[in-house]
Amino acid sequence: MANATKSIRHRVFGLTVLLSLIWVLIVARLFSIQIVNGQKYKAKCKRQVDYRKVIAPLRGIIFDRNKKPLTIDVVQISFSAHPNLVTDKLSLAKEISSWLGNNDKKYLNTLQSDRTFVWLERNIPQDQIHTLLDENKNYPGLIIERNIHRQYPFGEIGGQLIGFTDVDNRGISGLELEFDPYLSGEPGWRIIQKDGLGRLNNRPDLPFKETIDGNDVILTIDHEYQTILHEELSSAFCEHNADKAMGIIIDPKSGKILAMASTPLFNPNKPFNYPVSSQKNRVTADIFEPGSTFKIVTATAALEENHVHPEDSIHCEKGFIKIGKNIIRDHEKYNTLTFSEIIKKSSNVGTIKVAQKIGKDYVFKYARKYGFGVKTGIQFPGEANGIVHPLEEWNNLMLAQVAIGHGLCCTALQLAYAYSAIANGGFLLKPQIVKSIQTKDGIVLYKGKPQYIRRVASVETMTTMRELLRLTVQSGTGTRADVHGMTIAGKTGTAQKVTKNGYSQTDYVATFVGFFPVNNPKLLCVIVIDNPKGKTHTGGAVSAPVVKEVFTRIVNQSDEIFLNEDNFQRPITKYAQIDEINNTRINSIRTKRAKVPKPLLSSLQYTSRMPNLHGKTSSEAIGILQRMGMSIDIKGSGLVVSQTPSRGSLVTSNTQCHLILKPPRLSVD
């Protein structure tokens, strides 16, 4: 009995000690949790309860210079749910059905699923939903998410220029990438509490941060010009079955880029349907040998340094010249040409002999002054430097090659701004593609302005260069760019492509640079067609007609922009007068013995194209036609609904225009 009592006492003591130890451990653990690590566990608990929801900002819009949106942000709504947390499935199904106009049975069946998470609808445009719940306040278990999807309303038009964004709305290429810091904005957030069942509850007293939407970027690009360039470039690309093509239109006086396009085309709305190479803006990224378009460097150096005069005669060796063991030929066997004719006819031999006369130092100097071999500084990613070899590497053969645009490479962008220096009277400009950057409230953060880099040559030299380039279009290698009634100047270029075995005899790069009007240039266009296939492959036959069509369409579209007598065709220079009126060789100027006869009055009669007067008031129409010197016959009042001659027809000051007007309340075609 005593042993039994003793045994029970030992058991009770042991149990007491065990319980005491357990109690001590519990107290110690609670002390550790509540006192020692209290803040740590409190923060952990808060993280589990408080859900931080990030709210994406609206991305800034990219506009053209006329505030036409080139990008749009589409807000899309997605509905999902945790079925086990939805208490009134039927009511929720009917509510969603009323928002979206679908059958409520579809949503009820989905909500009755055994899964822990289901999608009800995804990526519904917000403008299709007239009523939205404030998150899931009234319906526990329902999740409403707002997603922002970037879209490009004009698709392939300007695709490589604008670029595109990724799934997180961050810029990946083009202007979207370059100006992403301005466009992206700053995301906001909101704290939402989660209960033990995982239900989210909004509370207005919880912390939040407002989103800051991105800034808008207004470009110098004109969408109408961009469309014209896109269509004409695409047409030439297909017609000549080329490997690729690129083009750019700029204002040569301000340096503003008005249009820029590349082929093969690229649609930023479907970026993964195209190869990565199609995303490139070839105008800034691709380099090529400019061929005869580079002859302006030799010509400018010779004129500016007074080594050659336009009237000087140069023997062209019957079409070929030997440089060491190499022979360089002309496309025709010329004997003696004036320097003006060398540029007009694009003689390789004549240009090389001029380059030899002035020396490699001057050719290199003016190549650099024109900006070749150096980035232009355009606000666009991926610009190439081009290639101009160091002067110490030049030998006689390289001098001859460079003089005619071989042995070096440039971009279409560099070529455009080199020619803009001729068009604007001698200044090399920095490309300008952004007109301004503004906040959503209209506060201007950045405003573009012309930036002059350096003077390339004197006004007198550049005036002479414009005259010579006008001759090229009037009666030289660029006649297929000429438009009756317009004064287009320019230069052709045809370069053999480089292969592993030297210069190809079958693959070429056809280039034409043109600007208009020659006396007061407002537009400059470069067209480069890479490896055209077919009967013709020269810049004059392939690229010049594209520039002609681009300028013609722009003039026909922009009726009042070019209504100025300086813009219409007339003999503007002494070289052009002799070449056009007398049909004599330009070297007759040199003697100054033969007096140039004055042209008849009729030969100086200006011609132009009939503008589109539809929708204009009588006073507006009369003002336009009077500036053109035309007589007017008007019937009716109000707005113009009919005109004769039709838009785009060639007219002179003797042409009479018949207009029919109707009141504004009537339908105007």
pLDDT at 360: 95
Look at the chain and count its residues.
669
In Å, how far are 211, 259, 473, 495, 515 from 547, measured between CA atoms?
Answer: 46, 13, 11, 18, 9
Which of 477, 539, 546 is CA-nearest to residue 508?
A: 539
| 8 A C-beta contact, residue 68 and residue 153 | no
- Containing 297, the helix (H) or strand (E) segment is helix 295-304
Q: How many CA atoms lie within 13 A of 584 on its CB side?
A: 16
Question: What average pLDDT is seen over the chain?
Answer: 84
CA distances (Å), origin 128, targets 40, 106, 124, 604: 46, 19, 7, 63
Cβ-Cβ contacts under 8 Å for 642 (sequence gap 6 or more)? 659, 660, 669
36 compared with 532, residue with greater pLDDT: 532
Burial of 654 by CB count in 10 Å (0-12 exposed, 13-18 middle, 19+ buried)? exposed
Whole-prediction pTM: 0.76
Average pLDDT over residues 570-595: 41
CB atoms within 10 A of CB 96: 25
In percent, the amount of the chain with pLDDT more than 70 equals 84
Token pair, residue 60, equals 């800034």
Q: Pull the structure tokens for residue 554.
A: 């722009």
Q: What is the pLDDT of residue 54?
A: 79
Residue 133's pLDDT is what?
47
Task: Supply the pLDDT for residue 134.
Answer: 46
Instruction: To the nearest 10°, report the CA torsion of 445, 449, 453, 456.
Output: 170
Residue 448 clears pLDDT 90, i.e. is over it: yes
Lowest mean pLDDT among 402-411, 527-536, 596-605, 625-634: 596-605
Taking residues 337-363, what's their average pLDDT? 95
pLDDT of residue 229: 97
Does position 582 have pLDDT exceeding 60, yes or no?
Answer: no
pLDDT value of position 265: 94
Closest CA to 571 of 558, 557, 583: 583
Q: What pLDDT does residue 599 have?
A: 31
HEC string of 22-46?
A: HHHHHHHHHHHHHHHCHHHHHHHHH
Whole-number pLDDT of residue 127: 67
Quick one: residue 531, left, alpha or beta (phi over 0 = left, psi -120 to 50 = alpha)? Answer: left
pLDDT tens profile 612-648: 887 777 767 776 776 666 778 888 777 788 888 887 7
- Nearest 5°: phi and psi at 113? -70, 155
With tokens 């110490």, the residue in question is 392
- pLDDT value, residue 606: 38
Give the residue among 572, 515, 513 at the shortest CA–CA distance from 540: 513
The more confidently predicted of residues 245 and 8 is: 245
Residue 223 confidence (pLDDT) above 50:
yes
Q: Band of the pLDDT at 92, cuts 50, 70, 90?
A: confident
Q: In CATH, what class is 52-217?
A: alpha beta
Which of 380-394, 475-489, 574-588 has the least mean pLDDT?
574-588
Q: What is the three-class DSSP state of 229?
A: helix
- Beta-sheet strands, E only, within 44-103: 50-55, 62-63, 72-81
pLDDT tens-digit readout, 142-182: 888 778 889 999 999 999 999 999 888 899 999 999 999 99
pLDDT of residue 138: 61
Residue 564 and residue 517: Cα distance in Å, rounded?
10
Class of the CATH domain delimited by 610-662: alpha beta
Class of domain 223-591: alpha beta
Who contacts 528 (Cβ-Cβ below 8 Å, separation ≥6)?
Answer: 245, 246, 247, 288, 412, 509, 510, 511, 543
Highest averaged pLDDT of the listed ranges 316-320, 325-329, 378-382: 378-382
Query: So what's the pLDDT on residue 570?
Result: 43
Under 8 Å between Cβ of 51 and 192: yes
pLDDT band at 585 (very low <50, low <70, confident <90, very high): very low
Mean pLDDT of 494-504: 84
State the pLDDT at residue 2.
65
Residue 287 near residue 384, CB atoms below 8 Å: yes
CA atoms within 13 A on the CB side of 316: 25
**Of 125, 171, 127, whose CA–CA distance to 148 is shortest?**
125
Cβ distance 145 to 80 under 8 Å?
yes
Sorted by sequence, the CB contacts under 8 Å of residue 329 that are 6+ apart come out as: 319, 320, 348, 349
SS3 192: strand
Please give the Cα distance from 434 to 358 (Å, whole number). Answer: 40
Q: Say if residues 488 and 515 touch (Cβ distance below 8 Å).
A: yes
Judge whether residue 431 has pLDDT over 80. yes
| Per-residue model confidence (pLDDT) at position 622 | 75
pLDDT, one tens digit per residue, over 237-292 is: 999 999 999 999 999 999 999 999 999 999 999 998 999 999 999 999 999 999 99
- Residue 47's pLDDT is 65
What does the alpha-carbon distance between residue 408 and residue 355 come to, in Å, rounded to a whole number? 15
d(CA 534, CA 281): 26
Residue of higher predicted confidence among 489 and 558 = 489
pLDDT(308) > 50: yes
Query: For the CA atoms of the chain, what is the radius of gyration?
Result: 36
Strand ranges inside 517-605, DSSP E: 523-530
* pLDDT tens column, 191-206: 777 665 555 666 666 7
Whose CA is closest to 528, among 259, 250, 279, 288? 288
Q: What is the pLDDT of residue 572?
A: 43
